[in-house]
A and B are shown apart, each in its own frame.
Chain A
Amino acid sequence: MEKIAMKKKFRIKKSKPNRSFGGDLGINFILIFFGLFMAFPLVYAINSAFKPLDEIFIYPPRLFVRNPTMNNFQDLLVIMGKSWVPFTRYLFNTVFITSLGTAGHLLIASMGAYVLAKYEFPGGKAFFNLVVVALMFSGYVTAIPNYLLMSKIGWVDTYWAIIVPSFASPMGLFLMKQYMEGVPDVLIEAAKIDGAKEWRIFSRIVLPVVKPAWLTLMIFSVQGLWNTRASNFIYSEELKTLPYALQQILAGGIARAGVGSAVSLVMMTVPIAVFIIAESNILETMASSGIKD
């Protein structure tokens, strides 16, 4: 009797009934090992942002900071305060481009993806194949045709040159379409029988079901747009983006190394915050449509 009680007490709870204990252990070991390897840049970036200048160039190099200081951030503030265009303007530019670009992309790409994934109509398949193929053309070459196009439309040196093309990024449509294929047809048919119009089905039924997909897409889009330098299209100082402005600070060379690491930490915070919020929402959704085919 006692033995059984002991056994129960010390038994590690298995996540699922058909998992071997050894397998769980091995997997956790692998995850920890590679996790340390992967976490390295974050640890490094955070530590060096707080390093005083002499510790940055210490020999032998050290990963962890010894005397943490806020000097780098103070220097950054001083430099930002001296800039000709108020620094909040750069911040506004990037926030504006990122939020509008992401919102538009999510809406337009998921609308297209919905009909491509769930309905058959002439040209649909061919169009989708074209989108996948377009992913594979190197962006470096299309830069010049793109520039010519923008100058024809008159969008050079405006936000639109960055925002509008980002609406139609092929990766977003591809991701949404792939994910929407998993939405059960019964769900849509049931809504149709209840008399729902396409737009209603799309916005009220399909979008909530594919929440993990559009949150993931939001992460990609924010990450991309937030780091856009846009140096191809934007020349006016007051329209320049934050990464562009910060890059100008870094051009100060080795004396700015401390400020540089503060800059990279500041630039990282927004995408990481968006990422953490979105990802914890993704992991909360438990897929159970309640419908069995």
Chain B
Amino acid sequence: MSVLKSYIQIKKRNASISWKIAKKSKTYYLFLAPYATLFFLFYVVPVVVSVFLSFTYYNVLEPAEFIGFQNYINLILADDVFLIAVKNTFLIAVITGPIGYLAAFLFAWFINELPRYLKAFAVVIFYAPTISGQVYLIWSIIFSGDAYGYINAFLLNLGIINEPVLWLTNPQYMLTVVIIVTLWMSLGTGFLAFVAGLQGIDQSQYEAGYIDGIKNRWQELWYITLPNMKPMLLFGAVMTITQSFGVADVPMALTGFPSTDYATQTVVTHLIDYGSVRFEMGYAAAIATILFITMILCNKVIQAFLRRVGT
């Protein structure tokens, strides 16, 4: 009993201490208040409502009906397409996530070594796939299944193939095509954040490095650049996770929706299928919640890993 009592007492004291600090930090709360208000209203509330909906049957027209864990049970035990989607999503995420992340950093770092005007030019070129909006649609022309597709025309001309390959409708190739295009687009948010981050490193640290005998660019990278970039690396990692687990636009635009044999169904296209085609919002919300939890776990692992950088 006394243990519990002292525990409560400590908690009470802690609470009163933090209350005192909170009163002192009034200015800080004022700074945060506009963002916090809007964030709770437009981001937290909808997410909470969605998680709640995942325990209901909700078809948008009738009021939501509480059904407990039924959506989750159906999802895992009865939905074969969901398992395909999970497999595809993991495959896409495992390949495009790490490669895209490393490429974004390496290119940002390489470009940072260039002289100034060339640097600006190179950043524009490498960010082009992202800035030009829906321009990835040109890949549907490049990989087009008839002889008009660039790749088919090229291979036919060389005589490597005798008839056009159905890149976007033959399940054998579809996922590969999606992975290639996703990789091509992966130098997005993270890349620009890295470019900005590299710009913010105090140059005098490098000069100190030369004097302290840093021999080559790799040592400089590990001992000076990476430790300085830690916050940006973390940002890039989170953005990479959200992007690589959230792949949906590319497969939908290139291979159709739904795709042949669900060969490029991802978790998010599955979600869109239930959410905006079949209007089973409860089920769609359950898919979103599972994806959400997976991403959070993945984020935890990567954060632990990034903590060891530069040590």
Cβ-defined contact, B122 with A31, below 8 A: yes
**Which residue in A137, A148, A175, A215 is a CB contact (below 8 Å) of B235?**
A175
Complex Cα gap A133–B303 (Å): 13
Measured between beta carbons, the chain B residues less than 8 angstroms from A124 are 28, 32
A111 and B34 contact, Cβ closer than 8 Å, known pairs A59-B147, A121-B29, A216-B196: yes
Cβ-defined contact, A279 with B231, below 8 A: no
Measured between beta carbons, the chain A residues less than 8 angstroms from B284 are 140-141
Q: CB of A259 within 8 A of chain B?
A: no
Residue of B nearest to A210 (CB): B200
Cβ-defined contact, B206 with A39, below 8 A: no
Stretch at the interface among B80-88, B167-175, B237-245: B237-245
Q: CB of B246 within 8 A of chain A?
A: yes
**Which residue in B38, B119, B136, B241 is a CB contact (below 8 Å) of A41?**
B136
Q: How large is the interface on B (under 10, 10 to 19, 20 to 34, 35 or more residues)?
A: 35 or more
Cβ-defined contact, A170 with B43, below 8 A: yes
Contact with A along B195-207 (1 / 0, CB 8 A): 1110111111010
Complex Cα gap A115–B271 (Å): 37
A contacts with B: majority SS: helix
- CB B231 to nearest CB in A, in angstroms, measures 4
Complex Cα gap A39–B132 (Å): 11
Cβ-defined contact, A137 with B47, below 8 A: yes
Cβ-defined contact, B292 with A138, below 8 A: yes
Cβ-defined contact, B231 with A181, below 8 A: yes
Q: What count of chain A residues pass the 8 Å CB interface test?
A: 100
B contacts with A: majority SS: helix
Measured between beta carbons, the chain B residues less than 8 angstroms from A119 are 25, 28
Which A residues lie at the B interface, using CB under 8 A?
A: 15-20, 23-24, 27, 30-31, 34-35, 37-42, 44-45, 57, 59-61, 63, 108-109, 111-112, 114-116, 119, 121-124, 127, 130-138, 140-146, 148-149, 164-165, 167-168, 170-171, 173-175, 177-179, 181-182, 198, 202, 210, 212-213, 215-216, 219-220, 223, 227, 264, 267-268, 271-272, 275-276, 279-280, 282-289, 292
Known: A41-B138, A144-B281, A174-B238. 15 other contacts (CB 8 A): A23-B217, A27-B110, A31-B110, A38-B187, A41-B129, A57-B148, A60-B148, A127-B32, A134-B47, A135-B242, A136-B245, A141-B284, A149-B45, A178-B232, A213-B200
